[in-house]
């Protein structure tokens, strides 16, 4: 019996696991698949604003930020930054003032904490690296967008790979870069091509294990600023973050079980029932894991925490709990993919302690909690609020769980 | 203003117009065809893929049924690369009228159509996914036809025979001389320039736009437009075309084509060729009908929904919004001069894709009469060109890729759902003038597989940026277009895919914010 089972290995689940372990809880993290960090730019974005904190108060009362509270956001971001400082991948930035990171489109997103290799162009002379045979970055498009926007001198630099090695995905290129011999050979090959640049822009492929010191060495090697741009998935900055949080969790005694879907198990008379744990649908057959509390960090429709069913239903997947949605399916989506979508707002309704609620507003079970994308009330794609919500709700959930366990 | 002169000006680049231009080429006419959009953008490209055996019309239109049967046999000869001989069944379920199958079978016999009853057990051996509740089954000569392929074959054949096909050219107006139409002003939509084409005869083959085209000639041509919605499943659970054995209604057919199966169709009267918005109820009706034949259809992964507009000749001018399914799918060749209209123009209305060749033949017979020529039609015996077949079927792509060197294949695949290599995109961009991602989609199937452009749109836009002199601005437009066909089927895996695409482009790659926001 563990104190806490967390389902989901995305940012919310990993943050919660680390925090609960720090507070002395025994934690088991269970994940059906890989969490969502391979789709992430690896930064912590709170809201697509220069000053997100001011805007938080204007959000509706049902928004996850309002429910978790500003303090949870502040404390969680602080904890996250300190964990990363203690490791080798240092994040910079703060909550009060967002920093822009350049993206593949040539536009920038506001984020609040960013790893060292993401950010803005320095100077006017810019080279965009076009790595031979790599499909998931668009150097020419980026160069055109930059030329149209600012008075940059932008060149596209064809970058060969040593020994005619071609790699399909960012993760494969990154694995090559993790080999110091290959890395040094490649960087030597590229150095003369980058001569005279103020900033060298590369797709984010500089190794899964790339850390702050190594990044500084790479910049020194080129003699200019180097900027990484998140690519089509798997996105390396997200994977580096995943790796850092997983390593930290393991070091702090978190047990991680992967590859099996989980079904929630409940005991007790109706009205006072408690979650007793989960049944893992593992390859060798079902397996019961019991725990004092359960945290759902299973994500929204994109990660399987929620599933939409024909013609007009949605449900949570661990307990099969029905989710409230509009009966007209045409109201779930908007004409433009980039508008806020009603389906993306759907999810478990929670109270300020992150407990999922029934239609009457009572907690479904006294020891069940939720964090991240499975919670209703925000379209995180539209808001640019994904990681802030993950951290704030995970923080608030673990805080509630620990309060309960002391009572 | 640039000028051209031709004997025949064909307006409309669907199967009808291209069929007419092809027939005209073979009969020795000088032909120019104009199409306001791209090949396959209109009704012909929004087709369900069923090459009718004719059995569907055995009761409601025996002569149409007979025509379908004949044309089915002809097209298998002249357009075989576009056709897959799936065979078909008419299937009765307990929900269908009990006596209909016998009546229908008798009508098939009368019309000379082959329809042979097979035991349900035998049916289920061949099609194990079908419902065991099916009560009767009849084998017919259906096939599936890839209309994109057919259009490209027709267009290639016309070019080869010396005809001209002008895509993205729209009719602006006619020029008269006395009571005759003698020339047309045509706008090249890409360069926004206007050219004048003098002709002996113009053929209005505008499909749902035929009324607007006639209008420019001062002719009132009432059409009944019917919207038909279709849904593509992301899998091909059956080998054969399936038809419901019951009076024609919504959701009658399931057509296996390429790697998908198409559920069709609905029929809703609309007032304009652009009225293609799909209602949820249409999709739900198609799925619940499919469920009767193919249990589990509602839980299967859906690729996309789309709609096409059937242009049918309205029976009379004073009936508002007639139910279009009952008008009949027969076609009409209207020689306007014979009806006291202007001379120099003939309209071709209605018909089915299966009978496009016959319509063209009849149209050219009228043309020959008008222009005083006497040449026999030879389209029924002349196979279409397939040399420049840019529009590949998936199995063909597999074969093609198998011949490439290992190690080169994977990294060159830009669209991993439809197996489109970098090389094909580059070649198409160099050979033709596709300027948008949507043009490339119709040529190469980019963005038409399960990811619906999620990954390939970004990669393809980069190749376009490398090749085209002007930066392409249409990545967002393309994603909007793909999104449109996903909205009516937004549940399950499809919704998951939609959210993934949104997340990639908005959050990860940064394509959603208004430009210049951070400059």
Using a CB–CB cutoff of 8 Å, tell me whether A150 touches chain B. Answer: yes
Within 10 A of B100 (CB to CB), how many other CB atoms are there? 17
Do B139 and B253 lie in one domain? The reply is yes
Question: CA B460, CA B423: separation in Å to the nearest integer?
Answer: 11
Q: Where are the domains of chain A?
A: 2-89+239-406, 119-229
Q: What is the pLDDT of residue A132?
A: 86
CA A371 to centroid of chain Cα atoms: 13
B239 and B121 belong to one structural domain? yes
B412 and B486 belong to one structural domain: yes
**What is the tens place of the pLDDT at every residue in B471-492?**
666 898 899 999 999 999 999 9
Whether A140 contacts B460, CB under 8 Å: no
Burial of A210 (0-12, 13-18, 19+ CB in 10 A): buried
**Cα–Cα distance for residue pair B128/B189, rounded to 1 Å:** 50
pLDDT beyond 50 at B434: yes
B400 plus B445 within the same structural domain: yes
**B272 inside domain:** yes
Residue B124 and residue B231 share a domain: yes
Same domain, B179 and B137: no
The topology (CATH level 3) of A119-229 is: Rossmann fold (3.40.50)
B208 and B173 together in one domain: yes
Q: Which chain B residues have a beta carbon less than 8 Å from that of A381?
A: 499, 502-503, 506-507
Residue A199 CA to residue A229 CA, distance in Å, equals 12
In a domain, B218, yes or no: yes
Give percent helix, percent strand, percent coil of chain B, each to the nearest 5.
40, 25, 35
Indicate whether B392 pLDDT > 70: no
Tell me how far apart the alpha carbons of residues B503 and B419 are, in angstroms, rounded to a whole number.
Answer: 24
Which residues in chain A are closer than 8 Å to B299, comparing Cβ atoms?
310
* B503 part of a folded domain: yes
Query: Which pLDDT score is estimated for B397?
Result: 67
Query: Between these two residues, A317 and B339, which has the higher pLDDT value?
Result: A317
Looking at B289, B313, B337, the residue that finishes a domain is B313
Alpha carbon distance B453, B437 (integer Å): 10
Structural domain boundaries enclosing B233: 84-144+224-313
Among B288, B313, B338, the domain boundary falls at B313
A276 Cβ partners below 8 Å, 6+ apart?
A: A265, A266, A267, A290, A291
Residue range B496-508, pLDDT digits in tens: 999 999 999 999 9
Residue numbers of A between 277 and 336 with CB closer than 8 Å to B = 300-302, 304, 307-311, 328-330, 332-333, 335-336
B381 pLDDT exceeds 70? yes
List, as one string, the DSSP characters of A241-261: HHHHHHHHHHHTT-EEEES--
pLDDT at B321 exceeding the cut of 60: no
Q: What CATH number did the domain enclosing B13 receive?
A: 3.50.50.60
Does domain A2-89+239-406 match CATH 3.40.50.300?
Answer: no
pLDDT digits (tens, 9 = 90+) for B457-467: 999 999 999 98
Indicate whether B209 and B298 sit together in one domain: no
Contact at 8 Å (CB) between A40 and A381?
A: no
∠ Cα A91 A95 A101 (to 5°) = 55
Asked if A16 and A397 touch (Cβ cutoff 8 Å), the reply is yes
C-beta of residue B465 within 8 angstroms of C-beta of residue B475: no
The two three-digit tokens of residue B423, written as one number: 């090389």
In terms of DSSP bridges, do strands A27-31 and A274-282 run parallel, antiparallel, or are they unpaired? unpaired
Query: How do residues B5-19 score in pLDDT, each as one tens digit?
Result: 999 999 999 999 999
Residue whose pair of structure tokens reads 């790893």 in the numeric block: A115
Whether the CB of A44 is below 8 Å from some CB of chain B: the reply is: no
Asked if B458 lies within 8 A of A136 by C-beta distance, the reply is yes
Q: Quick one: residue A227, left, alpha or beta (phi over 0 = left, psi -120 to 50 = alpha)? A: beta
Residue A154, token pair as written in the block: 């932008």
A38 interfacial to chain B (CB closer than 8 Å) = no
Q: CATH no. for residue B299?
A: 3.30.9.10
Listed residue (A271, A273, A305, A274) closest to A290, CA to CA: A274
Cβ atoms B267, B118 nearer than 8 A = no
Q: Pick from B284, B480, B513: which is nearest to A107 by CB?
A: B513
H-only helix segments in B144-194: 147-160
Answer yes or no: is pLDDT of B325 > 50: no
State the average pLDDT for chain B: 90
Q: Is B381 helix (H, G, I), strand (E, B) or coil?
A: helix
Per-residue confidence (pLDDT) for residue A406, from 0 to 100: 62
The closest alpha carbon to B249, from B214, B285, B218, B220, belongs to: B285
Model pLDDT for residues B88-136, shown as the tens digit of each residue: 999 999 999 999 999 999 999 999 999 999 999 999 999 999 999 999 9
For the cut 70, the answer to whether the pLDDT of residue B387 exceeds it is: no
Total domains, chain B: 3
Residue B353 · residue B329 · CB < 8 Å: no
Do residues B21 and B117 both lie within one domain? Answer: no
Residue B253 lies in a domain: yes
Whether residues B110 and B246 fall in one domain: yes
Domain-located, residue B105: yes
Residues 6+ apart with CB under 8 A from A211: A87, A88, A89
Q: Is B193 helix (H, G, I), strand (E, B) or coil?
A: strand
Ramachandran angles phi, psi of A270, nearest 5°: -60, 140
With beta carbons under 8 A apart, name residues in chain B contacting A233: 504, 508
Q: Mean of the pLDDT values across residues A103-125? A: 97
The three-state DSSP-derived secondary structure of B288-304 is HHHHHHCCCHHHCCEEE
Q: What is the predicted pLDDT for the residue at B420?
A: 87
Domain end point (choices B336, B354, B381): B381
Residue B173 is assigned to a structural domain of this protein: yes
* pLDDT at B76 > cutoff 90: yes
DSSP assignment, residue A360?
T
Which one of B411, B480, B491 has the shortest CB-CB distance to A168? B411
Question: How far is B101 from B97, CA to CA, in rounded Å?
Answer: 8
């Amino acid at each position: 019996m563990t104190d806490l089972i967390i389902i989901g290995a995305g940012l919310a689940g990993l943050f919660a696991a680390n925090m609960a372990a720090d507070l002395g809880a025994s934690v088991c993290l269970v994940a059906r698949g890989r969490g969502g960090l391979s789709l992430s730019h690896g930064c912590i974005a709170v809201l697509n604003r220069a000053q997100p904190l001011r805007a938080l108060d204007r959000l509706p009362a049902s928004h996850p930020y309002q429910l978790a509270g500003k303090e949870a956001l502040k404390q969680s971001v602080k904890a996250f930054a300190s964990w990363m400082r203690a490791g080798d991948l240092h994040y910079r930035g703060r909550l009060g003032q967002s920093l822009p990171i350049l993206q593949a489109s040539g536009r920038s997103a506001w984020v609040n904490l960013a790893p060292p290799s993401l950010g803005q162009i320095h100077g006017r002379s810019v080279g965009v690296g076009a790595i031979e045979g790599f499909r998931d970055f668009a150097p020419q498009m980026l160069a055109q967008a930059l030329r149209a926007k600012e008075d940059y001198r932008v060149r596209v630099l064809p970058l060969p790979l040593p020994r005619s090695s071609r790699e399909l995905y960012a993760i494969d290129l990154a694995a090559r870069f993790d080999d110091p011999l290959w890395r040094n050979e490649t960087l030597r090959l590229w150095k003369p091509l980058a001569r005279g640049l103020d900033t060298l822009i590369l797709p984010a492929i500089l190794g899964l294990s790339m850390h702050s010191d190594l990044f500084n060495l790479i910049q020194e090697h080129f003699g200019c600023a180097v900027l990484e741009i998140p690519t089509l998935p798997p996105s390396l900055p997200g994977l580096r973050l995943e790796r850092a949080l997983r390593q930290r969790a393991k070091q702090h005694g978190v047990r991680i079980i992967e590859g099996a879907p989980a079904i929630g198990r409940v005991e007790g008379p109706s009205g006072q029932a408690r979650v007793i744990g989960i049944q893992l649908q593992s390859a060798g057959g079902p397996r019961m894991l019991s725990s004092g509390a359960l945290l759902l960090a299973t994500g929204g429709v994109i990660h399987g925490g929620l599933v939409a069913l024909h013609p007009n239903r949605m449900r949570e997947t661990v307990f099969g709990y029905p989710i409230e949605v509009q009966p007209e399916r045409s109201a779930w989506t908007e004409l433009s993919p980039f508008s806020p979508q009603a389906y993306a707002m759907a999810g478990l309704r929670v109270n300020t302690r992150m407990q999922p609620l029934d239609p009457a507003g009572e907690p479904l079970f006294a020891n069940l909690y939720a964090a991240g994308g499975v919670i209703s009330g925000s379209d995180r794609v539209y808001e640019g609020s994904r990681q802030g919500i993950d951290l704030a709700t995970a923080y608030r959930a673990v805080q509630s769980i620990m309060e309960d366990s002391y009572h | 203003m640039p000028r051209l002169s031709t004997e025949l000006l064909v307006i409309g680049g669907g199967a009808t117009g291209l069929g007419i231009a092809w027939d005209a080429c073979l009969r020795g006419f000088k032909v120019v065809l104009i199409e306001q959009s791209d090949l396959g953008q209109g009704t012909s490209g929004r087709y369900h893929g069923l090459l009718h055996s004719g059995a569907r019309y055995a009761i409601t239109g025996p002569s149409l049924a007979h025509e379908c049967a004949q044309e089915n046999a002809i097209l298998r000869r002249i357009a075989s690369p576009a056709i897959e001989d799936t065979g078909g069944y008419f299937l009765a379920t307990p929900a269908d009228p009990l006596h209909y199958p016998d009546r229908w079978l008798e009508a098939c016999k009368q019309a000379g159509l082959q329809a042979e009853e097979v035991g349900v057990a035998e049916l289920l051996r061949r099609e194990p996914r079908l419902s065991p509740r099916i009560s009767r089954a009849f084998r017919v000569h259906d096939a599936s036809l890839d209309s994109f392929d057919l259009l490209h074959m027709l267009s290639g054949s016309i070019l080869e025979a010396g005809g001209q096909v002008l895509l993205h050219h729209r009719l602006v107006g006619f020029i008269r001389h006395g009571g005759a139409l003698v020339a047309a002003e045509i706008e090249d939509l890409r360069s926004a320039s206007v050219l004048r084409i003098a002709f002996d005869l113009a053929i209005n083959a505008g499909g749902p736009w035929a009324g607007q085209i006639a209008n420019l000639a001062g002719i009132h041509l009432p059409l009944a437009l019917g919207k038909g919605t279709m849904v593509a499943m992301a899998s091909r659970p059956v080998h054969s075309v399936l038809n419901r054995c019951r009076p024609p209604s919504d959701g009658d057919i399931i057509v296996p084509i390429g790697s998908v199966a198409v559920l069709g169709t609905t029929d809703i009267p609309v007032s304009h060729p652009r009225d293609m918005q799909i209602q949820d109820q249409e999709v739900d009706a198609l799925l619940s009908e499919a469920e009767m034949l193919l249990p589990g259809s509602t839980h299967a992964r859906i690729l996309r929904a789309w709609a096409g507009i059937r242009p049918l000749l309205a029976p009379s001018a004073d009936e508002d919004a007639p139910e279009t399914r009952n008008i009949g799918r027969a076609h009409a060749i209207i020689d306007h001069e014979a009806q006291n209209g202007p001379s120099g123009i003939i309209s071709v209305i209605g018909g089915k894709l299966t009978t496009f060749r016959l319509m063209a033949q009849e149209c050219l017979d009228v043309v020959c009469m008008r222009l005083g020529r006497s040449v026999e039609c030879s389209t029924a015996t002349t196979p279409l060109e397939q040399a420049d077949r840019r529009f590949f079927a998936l199995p063909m792509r597999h074969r093609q890729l198998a011949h490439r060197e290992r190690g080169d294949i994977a990294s060159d695949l830009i669209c991993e759902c439809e197996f489109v290599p970098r090389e094909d995109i580059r070649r198409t961009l160099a050979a033709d003038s596709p300027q948008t991602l949507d043009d490339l989609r119709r040529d190469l199937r980019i963005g038409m597989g399960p990811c619906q452009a999620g990954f390939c749109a970004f990669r393809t836009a980069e190749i376009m940026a490398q090749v085209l002199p002007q930066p392409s601005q249409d990545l967002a437009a393309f994603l909007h277009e793909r999104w449109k066909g996903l909205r009516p089927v937004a549940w399950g895996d499809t919704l998951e895919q939609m959210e993934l695409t949104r997340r990639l482009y908005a959050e990860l790659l940064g394509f959603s914010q208004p430009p210049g926001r951070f400059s």
